[in-house]
Amino acid sequence: MTDAELCLGLSRHLSAYQMSPERAALEQLEFAGWTLDMAFRLEGSTTSSARRVQAIGLDVGVGARNLKAVLATMEGLDWISIERDDTQKLVSITERIPTRGDLILAAPALLRAIMVTPVESAALALLRATALQPLLIDDALQAAADADGVEGDDECVESALRHLTHTGLVRRVGAADGREVLYNPNIWVQGDSIAEAALRAADARATPEVTALLQELAESPGMPEEHVTSTERKWVDFAVSQNLVQRSVVQTSDGGVERGFLFTPHLGRDPFGGNIADVSGHVRQLVGSMMYAATYAEYKLNAPEQFLRSLINRGVAGNASPIGTDYPMLEKAGVVRVVDGYGAGRYSLQLLQPEVAHDALKMLDAREGTGTESSDIAALRAQRAYVHVEKERARLALTTGIDEVEQARLIAALREVPVKRMFGGRG
């Protein structure tokens, strides 16, 4: 997650708490969130009256005194010009705020300008690390100590952990062997059982491998398993078996090779406690089908997002014979219905769950390199069946063994592989 996302989320999260020592210790991060929130809302507006600016401030949750400081900070960053009357009262502002993409990249400059404390820098690092994956406490604290602005100050890191734990953004769990695990309970919603995954990853010396994999999948949700470059196949299987990565499978219509598509559990989950989406796995099923068509189908779908957009806008899309038999799992899930198309033996897809398609489209649009050209529904004809992520996880559990003896054997075998990366980077 970027600094901008973390600051925005943290400021909104902290607004639900009364002022306390923990909230006060993170006040500069909360202030950064207010500033970014105002900037995102004002960007592109050119000139805004004082009344409009004040109304936006109230909607963000910023009163008159704090709004004055926020505007002064934005002016100091050359994001706005402020017109005042003879009494120095605000009249209007003229914005030259960076575009949204550049504004996200400008967040580190904002944090430097408002002089966040080492404790706050450590808090950002801990939030980022524990949202990405559950970690042994020593690994998480080391990641925070190594962050810019912390300078290895262990006392600051411990203070940051205490503040985040108090505000419900990090959970600390002790294991039977005395080790402790930190995780974000809003992302890793399995509860304290997810701590076992962190312990097994550490025992298998797989923590850096899982980190690299999660980072890669966060950039490209629904990535074909064969396209993973951050780690080896055995580490992918390990991450799936530990519920750290989710795999959806598409099978070709001739019953041939199955293709796996990988997702992180972060899909639709807010590190700061927002609503959880895609509990059923339907979004992953739909994205997996689109990625299969774009990657493996005989007639490749050049822009799967265009097909989904057409399905959303028209409610019906496609006119091909294979549609009649190739989507039984999506039909069973109630995402789509196969209906008669134009001409004998031709069928179309009718959308039954628009919210699933909207979420799938967001994921496809967010993928790096997504195109916008139109394409043919025939590219989807090679698909036949989907394996729900939970069914795939159960199958993997059966093939790898789920009892403690087999678990120990798996970890022992993985441990034999020399570690190729240190935590958080390549060695």
- CA 150 – CA 348 distance, rounded (Å): 57
Mean pLDDT, rounded, for 314-320: 83
Residues 126 and 59 in one domain: no
- CA distance to 16, 36, 57, 265, per residue, from 269 (Å): 19, 21, 27, 8
pLDDT band per the 50, 70, 90 thresholds, residue 393: very low
Residues 126 and 66 in one domain: no
pLDDT tens digits along 8-38: 889 988 888 888 999 999 999 999 999 999 9
- CA 403 – CA 405 distance, rounded (Å): 6
Name the helix (H) or strand (E) containing 394: helix 389-400
For residue 421, being part of any structural domain is answered with: no
pLDDT tens digits along 136-153: 999 999 999 999 999 999
For residue 156, being part of any structural domain is answered with: yes
Q: How far is CA 224 from the centre of its chain?
A: 17
Contact 90, 48 (CB under 8 A): no
Q: Which of 321, 287, 314 is nearest to 301 (CA)?
A: 287
Strand order of the β-sheet with 223-224 is 223-224, 258-263, 246-252, 383-387
**Residues spanned by the domain of 334:** 213-391
For residue 259, being part of any structural domain is answered with: yes
- CA 292 – CA 301 distance, rounded (Å): 9
Mean pLDDT, rounded, for 380-396: 39
Strands (E), 208-300: 223-224, 246-252, 258-263
Residues 101 and 125 in one domain: no
- Beta strands 258-263; 223-224: pairing state: antiparallel
- CA 397 – CA 247 distance, rounded (Å): 13
pLDDT at residue 36 in the model:
94
Structure-token match 């995402």, residue found: 335
For residue 397, being part of any structural domain is answered with: no
CATH number of the domain residue 30 falls in: 1.10.10
Q: Residue length, the chain? A: 427
Better-predicted residue by pLDDT, 141 or 379:
141
Residues 182 and 283 in one domain: no
Q: What residue spans of 77-176 are helical by DSSP H? A: 100-105, 107-113, 118-132, 137-145, 154-166
Residues 16 and 142 in one domain: no
Which of 144, 163, 195 finishes a domain? Answer: 195
Q: Which of 372, 384, 381 is nearest to 298 (CA)?
A: 381
Residues 175 and 309 in one domain: no
The pTM of this model reads 0.68
- Beta strands 336-340; 347-351: pairing state: antiparallel
Q: What's phi and psi for 83, nearest 5 deg?
A: -100, 125
pLDDT band per the 50, 70, 90 thresholds, residue 426: very low
Residues 80 and 137 in one domain: no
Q: Which of 260, 207, 193 is nearest to 235 (CA)?
A: 207
Residues 326 and 339 in one domain: yes
Is residue 169 packed enough to be buried (19+ CB in 10 Å), middle (13-18) or exposed (0-12)? buried
Angle at which helices 27-42 and 3-14 pack, to 10 degrees?
A: 110
For residue 322, being part of any structural domain is answered with: yes
pLDDT tens digits along 61-90: 999 999 999 999 999 999 999 999 999 999
For residue 365, being part of any structural domain is answered with: yes
Q: Which of 362, 361, 365, 224 is nearest to 295 (CA)?
A: 224
Residues 128 and 72 in one domain: no
Q: What total of structural domains would you count in the chain?
A: 3
Give bridge partners of residue 84 from the DSSP assignment: 90
For residue 402, being part of any structural domain is answered with: no
Residues 183 and 224 in one domain: no
CATH number of the domain residue 174 falls in: 1.10.10.10
- CA 409 – CA 237 distance, rounded (Å): 15
The amino acid sitting at 187 is: I
- Above 90 in pLDDT, residue 192? no
Residues 220 and 304 in one domain: yes
For residue 422, being part of any structural domain is answered with: no
Q: What is residue 421's three-state secondary structure? A: strand
Residues 181 and 241 in one domain: no
Average pLDDT for the chain = 80
Which of 113, 137, 159 finishes a domain? Answer: 113
Structure-token match 């409610």, residue found: 315
Which of 165, 195, 225 finishes a domain? Answer: 195
